[in-house]
């Protein structure tokens, strides 16, 4: 994912034939074809990385909890805290009522700071009360979802944008506040300096309506740089 997260595969409801059909069809084929058509600089990156593997995740609440846990700490530390928090709930998924039952002290015992424990409680209260209806949130537009989520203290624009991309697979998100995105754009265009958020928006305009897929490839490109050319002996 991004400079901070990742994502994997999906299964669809329906009979076995429906499941096989979804598995065999590339849902992002049109997006990849669009990127290839507008800019040949995409060709080597797409060829190296392969098909876009973005698939929607069903655990929407868990994605937001893990995003809060991961703020400003290493991936390894975040994974450890996340595991302890799941163990304390006795579950393989985060549940709003379970997290609320732990209280601030219980959340902190897993390694969360007092501030982050408060953020997790805020999110849990919003979801448990129904003020943030995650099961129906996919019916809203991107901007409405960002506005709803950022109304929860502890959820900022970056977290809301990652939710759009990784939980809902919205196709046209560009998170210009993400340093990985800006670094990827710098590399893609061969820029001397890291572009500003405004420059990122301007440069990425031709990627519409598939900026999420472009962003995914930029992240993957940073994670898997091309091999260095071999040096030939004189």
Peptide bond into 209 cis (omega under 30): yes
Q: Do 189 and 155 reside in the same domain of the chain?
A: no
Average pLDDT in the 181-199 region? 97
Residue 144 and residue 48 share a domain? no
Based on the fold, state whether residues 193 and 210 are members of the same structural domain: yes
pLDDT of 226 = 72
pLDDT value at residue 20: 34
- The residue-averaged pLDDT of 199-228 equals 93
Q: What is the pLDDT confidence band of residue 223, given thresholds at 50, 70 and 90?
A: confident
pTM attached to this predicted model: 0.82
Tokens 């409680």 identify what position? Answer: 121
Same domain for 38 and 71, yes or no, is no
Determine, yes or no, domain membership for 201. Answer: yes
- pLDDT tens digit string along 11-26? 333 333 333 334 458 9
Model confidence at 225, in pLDDT bands (50, 70, 90)?
confident
159 and 106 both lie in a single domain: yes
Q: Is 174 helix (H, G, I), strand (E, B) or coil?
A: coil
Question: Are 64 and 109 contained in the same domain?
Answer: yes
C-alpha torsion 163→64→84→117, nearest 10 = 150
Domain co-membership, 213 together with 117? no
Q: Is residue 216 located within the same domain as residue 159?
A: no
- Listed residue (199, 207, 133) closest to 171, CA to CA: 207
Q: Which two tokens stand for residue 50?
A: 């392969």
Claim to verify: residue 77 and residue 99 sit in the same structural domain: yes
Q: Given this model, what pLDDT does residue 11 score?
A: 30
Number of domains in the chain: 2
Q: What share of the chain is helix, strand, coil (3-state, %, to 5)?
A: 60, 0, 40
Residue 86 lies in a domain: yes
Asked if residue 11 is part of any domain, the answer here is no
pLDDT (average), residues 172-177: 96
Per residue in 113-139, pLDDT (tens digit) is 999 999 999 999 999 999 999 999 999
Half-sphere exposure of 110 (CA within 13 A, CB side): 23
Residue range 166-191: average pLDDT?
A: 96
Query: Are residues 38 and 114 located together in one domain of the fold?
Result: no
- Which residue, chain included where needed, has tokens 């572009």? 195
Whether 66 contacts 54, CB under 8 Å: no
Let me know if residue 35 belongs to a domain. Answer: yes
pLDDT at 206 over 60: yes
Q: What is the mean pLDDT of the chain?
A: 88
113 and 68 within one domain:
yes
Residue 40 lies in a domain: yes
Task: Pick the catalytic residue from 23, 39, 87, 178.
Answer: 178
pLDDT tens for residues 56-75? Answer: 988 999 999 999 999 888 88
pLDDT of residue 142: 98
CA angle 137, 143, 147 (to 5 degrees): 75
Q: How far is residue 22's CA from residue 24's CA, in Å, rounded to a whole number?
A: 5
Number of residues that this document lists for the chain: 234
Q: Which of 167, 187, 208 is the last residue of a domain?
A: 167
- Rounded CA-CA distance 97/133 in Å is 14
What CATH number has the domain bearing residue 31?
Answer: 1.10.1670.40
pLDDT digits (tens, 9 = 90+) for 48-57: 999 999 999 8
- Token pair, residue 5, equals 């997260």
Does 200 lie in the same domain as 109?
no
% of the chain with per-residue pLDDT over 90? 80
CATH number of the domain where residue 90 is located: 1.10.340.30
| pLDDT reported for residue 229 | 57
Q: Report, as an integer, the average pLDDT of 140-147.
A: 98
Residue bearing tokens 């329906």: 14
Q: Is residue 20 part of a domain?
A: no
Concerning whether 59 is annotated as a catalytic residue, the answer is no
pLDDT tens digit string along 29-38?
A: 999 999 999 9
Least confident of 46-55, 65-74, 204-213, 223-232: 223-232
Task: State the DSSP code for 232.
Answer: P
Q: Please check whether residue 8 lies inside any domain of the structure.
A: no
Q: Taking residues 78-87, report their average pLDDT.
A: 97
Q: Which domain holds residue 87?
A: 60-167
Q: Which two tokens stand for residue 115?
A: 């501030």
């Amino acid at each position: 994912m991004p400079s901070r997260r990742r994502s994997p595969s999906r299964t669809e409801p329906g009979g076995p034939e429906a499941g096989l059909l979804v598995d065999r069809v590339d849902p992002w084929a049109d997006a990849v074809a669009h990127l290839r058509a507008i800019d040949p600089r995409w060709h080597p990156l797409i060829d190296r990385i392969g098909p876009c593997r973005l698939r929607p995740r069903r655990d929407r609440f868990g994605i937001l909890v893990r995003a809060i846990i991961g703020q400003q700490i290493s991936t390894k530390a975040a994974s450890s805290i996340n595991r302890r928090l799941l163990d304390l709930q006795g579950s393989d998924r985060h549940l709003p009522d379970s997290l609320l039952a732990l209280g601030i002290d219980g959340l902190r015992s897993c390694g969360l700071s007092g501030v982050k424990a408060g953020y997790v409680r805020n999110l849990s209260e919003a979801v448990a009360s129904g003020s943030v209806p995650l099961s129906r949130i996919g019916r809203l537009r991107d901007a409405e979802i960002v506005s709803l989520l950022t109304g929860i203290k502890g959820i900022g624009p970056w977290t809301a944008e990652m939710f759009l991309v990784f939980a809902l697979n919205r196709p046209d998100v560009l998170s210009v506040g993400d340093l990985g995105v800006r670094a990827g754009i710098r590399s893609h265009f061969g820029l001397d300096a890291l572009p500003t958020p405004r420059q990122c928006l301007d440069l990425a305009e031709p990627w519409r309506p598939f900026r999420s897929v472009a962003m995914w490839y930029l992240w993957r490109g940073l994670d898997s740089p091309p091999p260095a050319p071999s040096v030939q002996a004189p």
